[in-house]
């Protein structure tokens, strides 16, 4: 892998004796999209502000392109870091046209070069027709494109986006997201997107950073994080998961819903994390009782019970089991993880 465009090493930020960010380490790479995912209040926005230089770090350091830009007692101002910022509310300047908004950061370029650069960006983000429009006349998706084009005008090595898609209407959101990200990848910038939506994060990220309580729990590719979360907390961040207490004997965990191989675990008590889609119909599996069935189009959400334990399963197939019926199921070991208790 290449040298990271940005490295945050063990950075902390303390608010009134509370660690808003605690020893967070994060690396951003050119041309790759990193998603910082966590529930609201987990410190992800603060971490973004630390990276942007809007707040000083209390410990640790941040390095961009080989230069330390943040360290205790030292904060290079946001304007001198070579980063781009896109805000949740887009923060377009209401007194400037679309073209002038995009050209805002290019104050030091001669007029001709400046115009050229603005034209390039307008084209790149399909905004040519809107160049002379006022921000308040644009749709949400258009405003977002302008905000991103503006942030990229100075060719920053790092682009930071704070909840960029949350201001968009539901049905627009997917299409806008897709095209914007496609355009973004062509720029070769290291991108950090802060979001609280796990599905969105997994869809768009090359790399995920899971955050909770001010700490970064795990970094890795979406499948890595989803299928092999380092902790129950991390597992829950990315999607539904049922946690069952299990007993391991002889490298195998026995659950009422099937067995899970656990070759490296010693015998004894443990916890099993089971994703809903780990359960599948299996005539050779264990019998369980169907408690509830919900039709969901591509799959059904089925609640199963065995030995006083309940589990939610997401099962494909067209034939719906009936409530009260007994079916036989087994577990897909790829979608389960055993944690020592």
Partner 1 sequence: MAVEAFFAARRRISIPFMLAAIAGLVALLPLLGVITTALFGETADIAARDIFRYAATSAWLALFVGGATAVLGTLAAWLIVMHRFPGSDIFAWALALPLAVPAFALAYAYTDLFDVAGPLRMTMRGNMGFDLPFGMRGLGGAVFVLSFAFYPYVYLAMRAAFLNQSVNVTEAARTLGCDGWLALYRVALPMARPALAAGVALAVMETLADYGAVQFLNVQTLTTGIVRAWSVYGSTVSAARLALPLLATAALLLWIERRGRPGRLHEAGNARWRTLPVKNLSGRRAWLASAFCLLLITAGLLLPVGWLLFNALDTSPDWTRLLRAGSHSLMLGIMGSAVTVALATMLALGTRRLPMAARLASLGYATPGAVMAIGLLVPAGIIWNLMPDSGYIIAIALLIYAYAARLMAAALEPIDAGLTRVTPSMIHAARSLGRSETSSALAVELPVARGAMLTASLIVFIDVLKELPATLILRPFDFDTLAVVANNYALDERLEQAGTPSILIILLSLPAVIWLTRKIAFSRPGT
Residues that bind partner 1 (CB under 8 A): 16, 52, 54, 77-81, 83-85, 87-96, 104-105, 107-108, 134-137, 140, 143, 147, 150-151, 153-154, 167
Instruction: Enter the DSSP assignment of 91.
Output: -
Q: Would you say 67 or 316 has its CB closer to partner 1?
A: 67
Q: How far is the CB of 337 from partner 1 (least distance, A)?
A: 39
Tokens linked to 75: 């904060």
Q: Would you say 90 or 257 has its CB closer to partner 1?
A: 90
Q: How far is the CB of 178 from partner 1 (least distance, A)?
A: 20
Rounded Cα gap, residues 19 and 21, in angstroms? 5
Q: How far is the CB of 56 from partner 1 (least distance, A)?
A: 8
Q: Would you say 54 or 325 has its CB closer to partner 1?
A: 54
Q: Would you say 49 or 314 has its CB closer to partner 1?
A: 49
Q: Would you say 91 or 181 has its CB closer to partner 1?
A: 91
Burial class, 63, CB count within 10 angstroms (exposed 0-12 / middle 13-18 / buried 19+): middle
- φ/ψ of 136, rounded to 5, equals -70, -10
Q: Residue 152: which H helix or E strand, with range? A: helix 140-152
Q: Would you say 91 or 259 has its CB closer to partner 1?
A: 91
Q: How far is the CB of 300 from partner 1 (least distance, A)?
A: 36
Q: How far is the CB of 183 from partner 1 (least distance, A)?
A: 19
Q: Would you say 97 or 271 has its CB closer to partner 1?
A: 97
Please say whether the beta carbons of 145 and 98 come within 8 A. no
Of 74, 46, 48, 78, nearest in space to 61 by CA: 74
Rounded Cα gap, residues 233 and 212, in angstroms? 8
- C-alpha 38, offset from chain centre: 8
Q: Residue 291: which H helix or E strand, with range? A: strand 279-296
Could you give the C-alpha distances from 302 to 297, 310, 321, in angstroms and in order? 13, 10, 9
Q: Would you say 173 or 289 has its CB closer to partner 1?
A: 173
Rounded Cα gap, residues 273 and 279, in angstroms? 12
Q: How far is the CB of 27 from partner 1 (least distance, A)?
A: 20
Q: How far is the CB of 135 from partner 1 (least distance, A)?
A: 6
Of 172, 338, 175, nearest in space to 259 by CA: 338
Neighbouring residues of 8: CB distance < 8 A, sequence distance ≥ 6: 24, 25, 26, 27, 47, 50, 51, 60, 61, 62, 63
Q: Which residues share a beta bridge with 220?
A: 208
Q: How far is the CB of 95 from partner 1 (least distance, A)?
A: 5
């Amino acid at each position: 892998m290449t040298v990271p465009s940005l490295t945050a090493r063990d950075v902390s930020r303390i608010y009134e004796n509370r660690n808003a960010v605690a020893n967070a380490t994060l690396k951003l790479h050119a041309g790759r999209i990193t998603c910082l995912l966590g529930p609201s209040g987990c410190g992800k926005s603060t971490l973004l502000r630390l990276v942007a230089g809007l707040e000083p770090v209390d410990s640790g350091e941040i390095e961009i392109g080989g230069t330390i830009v943040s360290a205790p007692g030292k904060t290079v101002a946001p304007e001198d870091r070579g980063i781009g910022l896109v805000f949740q509310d887009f923060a377009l300047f209401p007194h400037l046209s679309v073209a002038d908004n995009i050209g805002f950061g290019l104050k030091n370029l001669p007029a001709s070069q400046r115009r050229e650069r603005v034209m390039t960006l307008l084209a790149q983000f399909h905004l040519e027709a809107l160049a002379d429009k006022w921000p308040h006349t644009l749709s949400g998706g258009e405003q977002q494109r302008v905000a991103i084009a503006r942030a990229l005008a100075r060719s920053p090595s790092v682009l930071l986006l704070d909840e960029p898609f949350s201001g968009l209407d539901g049905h627009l959101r997917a299409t806008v997201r897709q095209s914007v990200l496609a355009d973004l990848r062509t720029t070769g910038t290291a991108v950090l997107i802060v979001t609280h939506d796990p599905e969105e994060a997994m869809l768009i990220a090359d790399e995920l950073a899971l955050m909770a309580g001010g700490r970064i729990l795990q970094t890795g590719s979406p499948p890595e994080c989803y299928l092999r979360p380092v902790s129950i907390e991390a597992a829950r961040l990315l999607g539904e998961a049922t946690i069952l207490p299990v007993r391991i004997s002889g490298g195998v965990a026995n659950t009422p819903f099937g067995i899970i191989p656990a070759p490296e675990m010693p015998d004894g008590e443990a916890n099993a994390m089971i994703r809903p889609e780990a359960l599948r119909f299996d005539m050779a599996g264990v019998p369980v009782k169907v408690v509830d069935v919900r039709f969901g189009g591509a799959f059904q959400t089925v609640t199963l019970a065995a030995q006083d334990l309940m589990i939610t399963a997401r099962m494909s197939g067209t034939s719906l089991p009936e409530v009260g019926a007994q079916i036989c199921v087994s577990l897909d070991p790829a979608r389960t993880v055993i944690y020592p208790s």
